[in-house]
A and B are shown apart, each in its own frame.
Chain A
Amino acid sequence: AQKVTQAQTEISVVEKEDVTLDCVYETRDTTYYLFWYKQPPSGELVFLIRRNSFDEQNEISGRYSWNFQKSTSSFNFTITASQVVDSAVYFCALRTDGGATNKLIFGTGTLLAVQP
């Protein structure tokens, strides 16, 4: 079975704090892809990052960083020095290589509220 778990339903931080959003996935496939999306109040899902299962290098993009660990089936997302504009729902998603429909399995999302 394929599954994505985002155990943190809501997180509230004060501006400039660092925050880590957890994502744990389950799959038996050896080839798979992991994604993070941001959904601000406007509703659109904004693509942030894609990783494939063969690339465990961590990634940093400005204040965003991602920690991919196959040993714990986790793909965590850290925002450094958070800002009010980071307030949104963040979704982690999994896509395995088992079919032709590019089906994404989403977690339930983590609502991040950054207070000024």
Chain B
Amino acid sequence: ETGVTQTPRHLVMGMTNKKSLKCEQHLGHNAMYWYKQSAKKPLELMFVYSLEERVENNSVPSRFSPECPNSSHLFLHLHTLQPEDSALYLCASSQATGRSGGETQYFGPGTRLLVL
């Protein structure tokens, strides 16, 4: 496997279900990101992990719970979601940044989530 992979690619879940999205990067990076892409909206950054520490949480509801067990893996645990959470969830990775800045983020193919 190369680059950034995400599983599953498609997910349909009910509002009472619990599921997890998985992301794995094979680029030797040490920062990982979750983004949400809804129709007609800009990409929204949800969480950032740098060196396995969460460094940003963009006011995301608690029904989304990230986990970063190591620098290659990132999970997004989902529970009691709402229909408006239906979206494309994209994972990205990069080198961790200090003030050197501008490290390019590489994205996975996304998980298309539908909440019924």
Interface residues, chain A, with chain B CB atoms under 8 Å away: 31, 33, 35, 37, 42-47, 50, 52, 91, 95-97, 100-104, 106-109
Contacts and interface: CB of A to CB of B under 8 A. Distances in A.
B108 to A, nearest CB: 7
A44 B45 contact: no
Contact of B102 (A95, A101, A107, A109): A95
Interface string B37-63: 000111101001010000110000000
**Contact size range, B:** 20 to 34
The main secondary structure of chain B at its interface with chain A is loop
Contacts of A37: 107
Contacts of A103: 45, 48, 56
Interface in B60-110: 88, 90, 92, 94, 96-99, 101-110
A26 B103 CA distance: 20
